[in-house]
Amino acid sequence: MSDILIIGGGIMGLSSAYYLSKQGHGITILDKGDITSSCSFGNAGMVVPSHFIPMASPGMVQQGIRWMFNSKSPFYVRPSLDMNLISWGVKFLKYANAGHVSRSAVPLRDLSLLSKKYYQELSKEPGFDFELKNNGILAFYKTEKAAEEEAHLAKKGIELGLDMAVLDTMDCLKLQPDLKLDVLGAVHYRCDGHVYPTKLMNALTNYLETQGVTILRNHEVTRIDRYDGKITSVFTGQKEWKADQYVLATGAWSPAVAKMMDVKVSIMPGKGYSFMETEPAGRMTIPALLCEARVAVTPMNGSIRYSGTMELDKINQRINQQRVQGILQAIPAYFPDLEPAFPPVKDIWFGFRPSSADGLPYIGRSKKIKNLVIATGHGMMGLSLGPATGVLVSQLISEQQTDIDIQAFSPSR
């Protein structure tokens, strides 16, 4: 067995540690914060095999340009001469074509279905009650244009073997009779599910610590030494850490950490916002995606979590209240009896999704650093893809055959 040092305590780091610990490895996790600040805690909690289309797609370029001029829109790129953003943008435009979308569908489907399988298994383990529900997600639309786009996506999903169904307004009302709707219809992504992220992350953390995994919070990596194509030491300030194998799972911070190893990881942080409101009546039972508004609405833990937006910018601590307002205004347009109040600033959560230029995650061994496995760049699907990524990392480190073909996710692509 090996000593493994995992840099990053989000869903990728904890999932990797979980499956590596099952194999008997000695594991240390270094996290720059207290773990609870990671993007894994405040997201929509959706498990989404339905998301087989990468963000880098032709329609996203056209829509993104239109959204750039709306302060409340769900997508924004802050204009900048930053070379990382420019390089990322050039790559994004290169990949935003029908061929890339077509080539990505099967790898993304396989990765998502693998993750769903391991979520099912994990939910049956003692101490892992994280409110996993398998009643799908409803993608609601209000316009004929969105209806046509969703019907096309559903057709492709069914061709890929995913369980999806196009519903009219009455079908939607029957599924959640206590919830008023103002929609044209929806696609029911029956293949999807959802969890309560806080319970999931706490369950993983508690399990790992009881199994002897060392989790060190507020330990930011400041230097990484290499020799002969291998990592020899990792430093957090003056403290030195050594291991046999290393895992880079630092989400949106991955480019900066990778740079310490002279490794390039093309990622931009995509800031998203969320907030919660109690819902004692339990009117919503199936999570929703509001197609035109690009807002996610998820029932969890006796509340509803509202989340959305994608701001591509440098990592920062600003809260753009206009974006939050955009989320708020979208809700009653679809659900007339859900009118969340603008939350106090202290209750607005934000996190940074690690967005790769081609919309696919990076999962694999580094070609440059022999004892490094990379697991990052999952964008908006981080929580959804956590268990599968953790399994694949454990298989790579143990030199086992991976459950699925991971060539499409190669960090050197």
Banded model confidence at residue 65, pLDDT cuts 50, 70, 90: low
The strand order across the sheet containing 223-227 reads 223-227, 230-236, 239-241
Q: Do 383 and 272 touch, CB atoms closer than 8 A? A: no
Give Cα 274 distance to the centre of its chain: 14
Residue 148, pLDDT above cutoff 80: yes
Share the mean pLDDT of the chain.
94
Q: Given a cut of 80, is residue 324 above it in pLDDT?
A: yes
pLDDT at 68 over 70: no
| DSSP-assigned letter for residue 401 | P
> What's the average model confidence in pLDDT over 309-320?
89
Which pairing describes strands 245-248 and 239-241: parallel, antiparallel, or unpaired? unpaired
List, in order of start, the domains of the chain with CATH numbers.
Answer: 3-409 (3.50.50.60)
Mean pLDDT of 132-152: 97
Mean pLDDT of the 175-181 span: 95
**What is the pLDDT confidence band of residue 73, given thresholds at 50, 70 and 90?**
low
Length of the chain equals 413
Structure tokens at 361: 């995650």
Angular region, 105: left φ>0, alpha ψ -120 to 50, beta rest: alpha
Q: What is the pLDDT of residue 264?
A: 95
pLDDT band at 80 (very low <50, low <70, confident <90, very high): confident
pLDDT at residue 69 is higher than 60: no
Q: How confident is the model at residue 66 (pLDDT cuts 50, 70, 90)?
A: low
Query: Looking at the predicted structure, is the pLDDT value of residue 71 above 60?
Result: no
Residue with tokens 């529900």: 133
Place of tokens 């999903």: 157
